[in-house]
Amino acid sequence: MPTRNSTDVVVIGAGVVGAACAYYAARSGRDVTVIDRGPVAGGTTGAGEGNLLVSDKEPGPELELALLSTRLWRELADALPPRIEYETKGGLVVASDAHGMTALREFAARQARSGVTAEEVPPDRLRDLEPHLAPGLAGGFHYPQDAQVQPALAAAHLLRAGGGRVRLRLGEEVTGFLTAPGGRVRGVRTRSGDLHAPHVVNAAGTWGGEVARLAGAYLPVLPRRGFVLVTEPLPRVVRRKVYAADYVADVASDSAALQTSAVVEGTPAGPVLIGASRERVGFDRTLSVAALRRLAAQAVRLFPVLATVRALRTYAGFRPYLPDHLPAIGPDPRAPGLLHACGHEGAGIGLAPATGLLVATMLDSGELPLDVKPFGPERFDESTASGKEPGHDA
């Protein structure tokens, strides 16, 4: 019987991915303890925009994960309170010229073969969808499966929905792992004492690599910094999530340098959110005026009406980046008893339900809804690592 010092599953990390792992594990009948050195959604989740996207993903494993999550988010929207602000508002990807439109058309055709719905929008119909869009665009594609959620609220309500089977231990840092004589993970060590469990899930986000190291495993998770601009409250001048075609290339890029490609969206509360920048600078939270200026200029090019709107605040977050842009999901053979659920980069909020369901199914040795081999954590080998990322201090 679970006690303060024992449980069926320990989940390290109280962000939306950890919350989803806890929710689905609890739903399958397991008692779960979620440990985080900070508050619920205190890391990447709390700094996220809440994107639930299929529009930015190439056909392949991540898109399959996203499509599964799309279905699961719809189910969760019915099961969780409406305060999570789930909106099936769709996304609109636009091209500035004929070349960009051709690239979008080819991309959408490849996605369609994987089950994505994408509707071409000619130039003269763009303003039917977004009346305040800039004139002169070459067209775009509407993605009705794209959606939005308030990430911190979603994480909190997923944990609450686990009921009495989910227990939180916040403000506690995992300092090590408990292991059996054969090396199998048997729980975690914290400054408040040991917690015994036959399974531990690493959902520590940007700190997932450090948690793996504590267990004697290797996972090269690096932080990828991003900024978001938040405007003053407005009437709903932006109806959907709107971004230019080059955003897809930036998401897939391996560059450590600053990249910006504006993603503009309205919120139910009124402010417009403007992302997204990407750069690998370790855990440096220094405000980048250059990044913010570029985001603002790109947003105004898409929506000229924003030129006179005040930006009230900005915030930074760190995406948990893995070199092949795929998350690590599943058991780690180098540390039996440890499962990973991290490295989702900027897609963690969207991919959280599918990740949680996969982890819970693996714990039960059940039939998996998709091929998880591409997400196997053992694909990373420390002997082939090229060393520390410049500026990375973990």
pLDDT-derived band at 392 (thresholds 50, 70, 90) equals very low
Rounded Cα distance, 385 and 86, in Å: 40
Please give the sequence-ordered ranges of beta strands (E in DSSP) within the chain, or none if there are none: 9-12, 32-36, 51-52, 91-95, 119-121, 139-143, 147-148, 166-170, 174-179, 185-190, 193-196, 199-202, 222-231, 241-244, 259-266, 272-278, 311-321, 328-331, 338-342
Q: Indicate whether this model's pTM tops 0.75.
A: yes
Q: Are residues 173 and 291 in the same domain?
A: no
Q: Are residues 334 and 379 in the same domain?
A: yes
The answer to whether residue 136 is domain-embedded is: yes
DSSP class of residue 3?
Answer: B
Mean pLDDT over 206-223 rounds to 97
The answer to whether residue 15 is domain-embedded is: yes
Mean pLDDT over 174-192 rounds to 95
How does strand 241-244 pair with strand 91-95? parallel
**Distance, C-alpha 67 to centroid of its chain:** 14
Q: Are residues 310 and 248 in the same domain?
A: yes
Q: What is the CATH number of the domain that holds 299?
A: 3.30.9.10
The answer to whether residue 291 is domain-embedded is: yes
Q: What is the CATH number of the domain that holds 13?
A: 3.50.50.60
Last residue of a domain, one of 289, 321, 353: 321
Q: Are residues 339 and 201 in the same domain?
A: yes
Residue given tokens 């070199």 in the structure block:
323
Do the beta carbons of residue 322 and residue 218 sit within 8 Å?
no
Last residue of a domain, one of 277, 292, 321: 321
Q: Are residues 343 and 279 in the same domain?
A: no
Last residue of a domain, one of 299, 321, 343: 321
CA atoms within 13 A on the CB side of 43: 31
Q: Are residues 104 and 243 in the same domain?
A: no
The answer to whether residue 78 is domain-embedded is: no
The answer to whether residue 70 is domain-embedded is: no
Domain boundaries, position 191: 9-48+152-221+324-384
Give the chain's end-to-end CA distance (angstroms, integer).
37
Q: Are residues 231 and 311 in the same domain?
A: yes
| Confidence check: pLDDT of 388 > 80 | no
Backbone angles phi, psi at 157, to 5 degrees: -75, -30
Q: Are residues 285 and 342 in the same domain?
A: no
Q: What is the pLDDT of residues 62-83, one digit of tens each?
A: 999 999 999 999 999 999 988 8
- Quote the percentage of the chain above a pLDDT of 90: 81
Quick one: which H or E segment has residue 157? Answer: helix 151-161
**Distance, C-alpha 61 to centroid of its chain:** 15
Q: Are residues 239 and 330 in the same domain?
A: no
Rounded Cα distance, 98 and 81, in Å: 44
Tokens of 372: 């998880």
Q: Are residues 181 and 134 in the same domain?
A: no
Q: Are residues 198 and 328 in the same domain?
A: yes
Q: What is the pLDDT of residues 218-260, one digit of tens each?
A: 999 999 999 999 999 999 899 999 999 876 655 555 556 678 7
Do the beta carbons of residue 158 and residue 69 sit within 8 Å?
no
Of residues 36, 4, 72, the one with CA closest to residue 359:
72
The answer to whether residue 65 is domain-embedded is: no
pLDDT at 245: 84
Least confident among 21-25, 114-118, 273-277, 390-394: 390-394
**Number of separate domains in the chain:** 3
Q: Are residues 187 and 234 in the same domain?
A: no
